[in-house]
Chains A and B, each alone.
Chain A
Amino acid sequence: MLAEFGYGVLVVTFLVTIYSVIAAYYGARTKSTKLVESARRAMLLTFPLISVSAATLIYLLVNNHYEVSFVYEVTSRSMPTYLKITAWWGGQSGSLVFWAFLLSGFTSAVTLRKWDRDIEFLPWVIVVCGITVTFFLGLVVFYENPFTRFWQVAGGVEPSMFAPIAGAQLFTPADGRGLNPLLRHPGMVIHPPMLYLGFVSFVIPYAFAIAALITGRTDDRWIRLTRRWTLWAWLFLSFGLVLGGRWAYDVLGWGGYWGWDPVEIAAFMPWLTGTAFLHSVMIQEKRGLLKHWNMILVILTYSLVIFGTFLTRSGVLSSVHAFAESAIGPLFFIFIGVSFVAAIALLIWRWPELRGETEMKSMLSREALFLLNNLLFMGILVICFWGVIFPLISELFTGQKVTVGPPFYERATAPLFSALLFLMAIAPLSAWGHSTIQTLGRSMWKSAIAAAVVTVILFITFTQNIGALVGFTIVAFAIFITLQEFWRGARARQKTQGEGFFTALARLTSRNRRRYGGYIIHISMALMAIGILGIEIFQSETQGTLAQGEALDIAGYTVEYRELASWDNAGEGVNYTRAVVDVFKDGIYLGELNPRIDYYAEAQQNMTIPGNRSTLRDDLYVLLVDWQPVSSMGATFKIYVNPLVNWLWIGSLLFLVGILVAAWPDKDPENEPVRVTRSSRQTSAAD
């Protein structure tokens, strides 16, 4: 009964969104305010509708309704309730409903805003968002219905929404298969929704960009309206990526956080274009340049979101994350085809009207450096994109399957990433419009000296590795310069306003949140770079089979195997094997670690959970690889020492702070000064 209800609501929502799209379209064509208003209300209706359907699905999940095939696939009786709820996005059909739910939530939020000044955008924003919602709902209604149930028929059990033959009885399995053990980690509980939020919220800037192209109102208005949306979208996406990394580090048991897996890259590509957009959009706001380019970036970002989703869900690429064979591939294919063609056609059509207004004055001006930044981001994007699709190309043309793995990406992107870090350091010093070597040099020499001192100290005390030294120098330089910016701003306020230093610092930041939030993000990026350099260049590892009492030595640590225990947890259907090892450093006892292997009988899957001792200096990451039967009690351990990796996580926390500072809603976000006019432009460089 409930399943029918949930499905019925989905179908109704699907019809409502179709109506909304059509009404908005005709409303715009006939300039009928009434029709547009009706479309807007229909769109507002979709969110409560999907919520009801989603609530039904969650109810079924939580209450063990295993006659529903989705519930059977992703939950089991032994799972705690919170996991049953989050199983919502643990499978293909549920996660599509989740997408549609988020999409319609964002669409509703944006249609609720005051439109008086931008009423011509409204119908087209509804059309674009509406089509996307309709598409996802269509996938769910026709292909991946989460409310499909099992029916008892002559030949066995058949999954179907409604009774396949008259009088067929529902079939309810005694227990479900349970969520993939890899997805039961707390990180995995929030990682997908964060990522989806990031993906989905990019639809809003995209819709505005398309609306601007269609209406021909190609001034900066659409950018002003969507700036904050973009920041929030970027926040979610970034946070989703970081959480994914943390999850990999904690659960996948290979001593790393990022494997250059196609699915990871698919999520990383929109982040690259989104980040490039956040920078280049400032040039348009300040200087009226790059209108084309920003349009392209926004469209590219959302296209990459859709494209990445298609790649990972259609089975086109095989990957550890890939959802197995799926019926939605062809429909998805048509959707991306149509949306790419439409976006490109619109861009080409409106191209002449998007020309920039001003000229640049210096190759070292901030806008020039921002452009260089964009070039680097695009370079990384090209490498990622090409690496992801090359195996397909190779198979198509030579019949030869190939792997494009981490070495390719690392070698290709490392110079670009370090150049980006360097730019990140110096760009804030350059002024809008003009800068010279002299002005730049004057403002950076102190930081440069400080960075050089750091480098010398590192060279003497820590490492002679050239790559690492170059990396750390850039990082130190970036941090010093950014801190110097804070210090200078605060000092200036201190002098002019007579405030205390910290008051000045706080007020400075809160009055120029986007700027100083951005700086905080820059510092966090530099901290993350420390972690990445540490683990990439200085990671050491060893592996050995130990008898009880034996020890392995690595990088100053001694890891001694004490004991091992294995037991079943019948209620959860898991077998735990847990080792106890004692950790010493230079003869001093530091405590014990408990690496373990969880075997999920139902899924026939092992999970290798590391025992990790984390300090600011390094992580001691111990994995239980294998163990011998009870008699000998020998066990094989793999041990990594990951220097500095904690800075990656510290950096990501600071990163979060930075984005929150930059993106937190103002009292009146609309009421910002319009782009400065030519005469006042010179003086507004500090904004």
Chain B
Amino acid sequence: MTETNNTPKRVGVPIWVQIVIWVSLVGLLALMGFGLQRARNPMAELDQPVPDFNLVFYEGYEYNNTAEMKLSDFQGKIVVINIWASWCKPCEQEAPELEQAWQSYKDAGEVVFIGVDYVDTPAGANEYLTKFNITFPNAPDLKSVISSTLNRQMGVPETYLIDREGVLRQVKIGPFSSVEEIDAFINIAR
């Protein structure tokens, strides 16, 4: 974008300008390519290990009275991560079923449910958890790290199934409609 070469001697575009132009073009295209790729792959990669992240549980919703844990602490267990929010209407549809399903799994200790509360306020979360008598561990999605680690893009609710080796096995977008559906969902990792 220069008007520098106005003297008759140097007529062409100086080579360094050409280099700058092409490099910025390639950079721009690479950036767009990245954005496009991100936009088109809304889900975390199936059958790949899930990168680790921290969970800081809500008070009263800890796992075995531990306030802060990592996903990797759950190696050897099947983890069901349910992303929800108190402002999300479809989440309310599945909340009772999730709690019911949790009741049938919690004693065996083989399957862990973890609720991850997306873009929510503590007050709203508390109201929601009380309203649906939720008892499984719940943590806020601080700085949206968890949802972006899991590449959550679509909306809430979304549920992720992670097997004993920490590999993502299945993703459910939208609410579950029955306990049977939740059972079937979990059975894939068993």
Contact = CB atoms under 8 A, between A and B. Distances in A.
Report if A and B touch in the complex (beta carbons < 8 A): yes
Interface of A: 290, 292-293, 296, 310, 314-318, 325, 329-330, 333, 336-337, 340-341, 344, 348, 351-352, 355-356, 389, 392-393, 395-396, 399, 401
B31 interface: yes
B12 A392 contact: no
Contacts of B33: 333
A392 B35 contact: yes
B1 interface: yes
B190 interface: no
B12 A351 contact: yes
Given A351-B11, A352-B12, A401-B148, A330 B31 contact: no
Contact of A392 (B22, B31, B144): B31
Contacts of B29: 333, 336-337, 340
B156 to A, nearest CB: 15
B34 A325 contact: no
Given A340-B25, A344-B25, A355 B148 contact: no
A316 B35 contact: yes
A337 B30 CA distance: 10
A5 B42 CA distance: 35
A351 B36 contact: no
A419 to B, nearest CB: 20
6 closest Cβ pairs, A-B complex: A316-B35, A315-B39, A352-B11, A351-B13, A329-B36, A392-B35
Contacts of B28: 389
B152 to A, nearest CB: 13
Contact of A325 (B25, B31, B39): B39
Contacts of A392: 31, 34-35
Given A315-B36, A396-B31, 17 more contacts: A314-B35, A314-B36, A316-B32, A325-B40, A333-B36, A336-B29, A337-B29, A341-B25, A348-B21, A351-B13, A352-B11, A355-B8, A389-B28, A393-B31, A396-B34, A401-B144, A401-B148
B3 interface: yes
Interface of B: 1, 3, 5-6, 8, 11-13, 18, 21-22, 25, 28-29, 31-36, 38-40, 42, 144, 148
A317 B21 CA distance: 24
A352 B14 CA distance: 11
B11 A348 contact: no
A330 B35 CA distance: 11
B15 to A, nearest CB: 10
B45 to A, nearest CB: 17
B182 to A, nearest CB: 22
Contacts of A329: 36, 39-40
A652 to B, nearest CB: 31
Contacts of B8: 355
A653 B19 CA distance: 46
Nearest to B29: A337
Contacts of A352: 11-12
B32 A310 contact: yes
Nearest to A315: B39
A314 B39 contact: yes
A290 B12 contact: no
B143 to A, nearest CB: 9
Contacts of B34: 392, 396
B31 A333 contact: no
Given A351-B12, A401-B144, A401-B148, A292 B3 contact: yes
The CB with the most chain A CB atoms within 10 A, among B22, B25, B32, is that of: B32
The CB with the most chain A CB atoms within 10 A, among B3, B33, B34, B144, is that of: B3
